Amino acid sequence: MDLAAKSSPKKPQASPPKPPAPKPQAPPAPRPISPDAWEMRPREFLFEITDEGANYYRAFDATADLVAGLYSDGRIRLADRDGRRFAGALIGGHADLLELQHNDWSEVYLRVTPTGRMQLELRGGPYDGHVLTCEPLQT
């Protein structure tokens, strides 16, 4: 008996239909920020942290004017009148700063001039390239 002659070739099985590929989703919309958070005056932002060992400064150059808080645990905060708020931690005179409203990063270097004045050198962000002279704030 010739089995090859009697059996007919099998038809290929159709594979089950594939589900449609998921459509790419748009990135989630940023959460709205309460306007009250950015209406806080710059000094209020600095004094929000209670620290008896903190030092507060006006940090400025010809075109920029900020306030800075240096805290006893190494934290640093900067704020300007336009609502920008920066926070970081100083390690060896350097800190990566997070601009809280826009979630952007920059850097700050703390240095003392030969005459004993403290300066903040900012790199990146809205104050890139500024060297700000620090004077103690009258609290």
Q: What are the Cα distances from residue 115, in Å, to 42, 111, 119, 121? A: 28, 11, 11, 17
User: Residues 6 or more apart from 43 whose CB is under 8 A from it?
Assistant: 56, 67, 79, 137
Q: Is the pTM of this model over 0.85?
A: no
pLDDT tens-digit map of 14-65 = 566 666 655 555 444 433 434 444 455 888 899 888 899 999 999 999 999 9
Q: Which pLDDT does position 56 carry in this prediction?
A: 94
